[in-house]
Amino acid sequence: MEDYNISSKPGKIITKTVWILSLVSLFTDIASEMLYPVMPIYLKSIGFSIVLIGVLEGFAEAIAGLSKGYFGKLSDNSGKRLPFVQWGYLLSALSKPMMAIWAFPFWIFSAKTVDRLGKGIRTGARDAMLSDETKLETKGAVFGFHRSMDTLGAAIGPLLALGFLYFYPGNYKMLFYFAFIPGIIAIGFTFLLKDKNPVPKASRINTSFFNFVSYWKKSPPQYRKLVLGLLLFTLFNSSDVFLLLKLKENGLSDMATIGTYIFYNVVYALFAYPLGIIADRLGLKNIFIGGLILFAIVYIGMAFNTNLYLFFALFFLYGVYAAATEGISKAWISNITDKRDTATAIGTFAGFQSICTMIASSVAGVLWFNFGSMATFITTAIITCVVVVYLSALKTAAA
């Protein structure tokens, strides 16, 4: 039986590099998730409508996704990973205090753009570094462990926010400054990393912003088939902000809403690593599809439920869904593409995904505004069932 003990020794699953990258993500998510559950509350308090919140979330994710593709390709071409990781985390850290400086919508959009641009710069290179630390049969475990640590930060962050708001209720601007501290700690950890066995430089280094799209044409057929299914799901999977707004719509207080979000992230963190290990043994595809089924159940429940206690059960299932899909989808993609193109493959998927996410969040806001929350959640659940059928019939290697 494979040894899944955590160690930095060769041959072990969780190496020193995986540990450091996971700690970087932990502290970055502490910073980000201190703000995420209060963001819709803060935005509404400064005059953002539900439609504008949807547009902001979609626009921000579009920036992140499109830049993931560009910088992923740039990382593969340059043969380097670490500079992209360091600069990406630095920009995200700087964006936190920016949000508090001015409440004008254009400035909020700018600060959010800096944050998402940072994510775009680092993601492809970071995931490629993680992939380089694995073997084919351990991808799920490594990506699952990273997601688990990342999401642990997503649970700690809102807890810190709750404590802060308990002593300083309604002082959202100061919370943005406070979130800068764990962001700086995360950047410090990146200086413990180094590029090991850098990939060979490409013969042509020049990379246009949309040059990553060309990868789609030369990518393996099974990659394109898989990504098409994932993108269809993304096209109707709006931001989690709408789940939080659903809680508010049903009368939960700000503290209860944040508490529910913390609960979701604790479940996510607890299940991500074990499900990654299970996926390596039972198949990445099987666990991923199981996660999508849970997602559909959650959204159907969100559409019809009015029981406050049942919302906790739905968020439990939502946490398991996230654990079964987020890291595993990247592991699945990295398994069916060339190692030299890992950052580009993940970045290309993220680039197209961002366009779909922008549409999904914007459409969700419009649907909610015109037809109510039920229309938003039912539509997403139906499309998810279609994707489950499609992926079930899909045959790919290393799945």
Residues 57-66: pLDDT tens digits? 667 767 776 7
Which two three-digit tokens encode residue 203? 């013969």
Dihedral sign of CA atoms 223, 225, 226, 231 in order: positive
More confident residue, 388 or 68: 388
User: Which candidate, 287, 291, 357, 360, places its Cα nearest to that of 62?
Assistant: 357
**Confidence at residue 220, expressed as pLDDT on a 0 to 100 scale:** 84
Indicate the average pLDDT of the chain: 82
**Confidence at residue 60, expressed as pLDDT on a 0 to 100 scale:** 73
Q: Taking 60 as the threshold, does the pLDDT of residue 214 lie above it?
A: yes
Q: What percent of the chain has pLDDT over 90?
A: 21
Q: How far is residue 117 CA from its own chain's centroid?
A: 14
Confidence of residue 292 (pLDDT cuts 50, 70, 90): very high
Judged by phi (left if over 0) then psi (alpha if -120 to 50, else beta), residue 11 lies in left
**Confidence at residue 210, expressed as pLDDT on a 0 to 100 scale:** 62
Which two three-digit tokens encode residue 120? 């775009």
Which two three-digit tokens encode residue 344? 């580009």
- Measured distance CA(300)–CA(297) in Å, rounded: 5
pTM: 0.74
Confidence of residue 140 (pLDDT cuts 50, 70, 90): confident
CB 358 within 8 A of CB 62: yes
What homologous superfamily is domain 16-194+217-393 in, according to CATH? MFS general substrate transporter like domains (1.20.1250.20)
**Confidence at residue 206, expressed as pLDDT on a 0 to 100 scale:** 57
Q: Taking 90 as the threshold, does the pLDDT of residue 298 lie above it?
A: yes
- Measured distance CA(302)–CA(272) in Å, rounded: 23
**Confidence at residue 25, expressed as pLDDT on a 0 to 100 scale:** 93
Highest mean predicted confidence (pLDDT) among 14-23, 187-196, 380-389: 380-389
Residues 220-263: pLDDT tens digits? 888 899 999 999 999 888 778 788 888 878 777 777 887 888 88
- Complete DSSP assignment for 52-92: HHHHHHHHHHHHHHHHHHHHHHHHHHHT--HHHHHHHHHHH
- Averaged pLDDT for residues 69-77: 80
- Measured distance CA(239)–CA(58) in Å, rounded: 8
**Confidence at residue 95, expressed as pLDDT on a 0 to 100 scale:** 87
Which residues have a Cβ under 8 Å from the Cβ of 34 and sit 6 or more positions away? 157, 158, 160, 161, 164, 175, 178, 179, 182
Rounded to 10°, the helix 82-101/50-78 angle is 160
Q: Taking 50 as the threshold, does the pLDDT of residue 5 lie above it?
A: no
Which two three-digit tokens encode residue 89? 């985390």
**Confidence at residue 11, expressed as pLDDT on a 0 to 100 scale:** 47
Confidence of residue 6 (pLDDT cuts 50, 70, 90): very low
Residue carrying structure tokens 């002082």: 171
Confidence of residue 7 (pLDDT cuts 50, 70, 90): very low
Residues 335-371: pLDDT tens digits? 888 777 777 788 788 778 777 877 887 788 888 878 8
Which residues have a Cβ under 8 Å from the Cβ of 121 and sit 6 or more positions away? 67, 71, 84, 87, 88, 91
Q: Give the containing element (helix H, strand E) for 40.
A: helix 39-45
| 45-49, 103-107, 209-213, 274-278, range with the lowest pLDDT | 209-213
Which two three-digit tokens encode residue 194? 């180094």
Residue 25: what residue type?
Answer: S
- Would you say how long the chain is, in residues? 399
**Confidence at residue 182, expressed as pLDDT on a 0 to 100 scale:** 93
DSSP 3: -
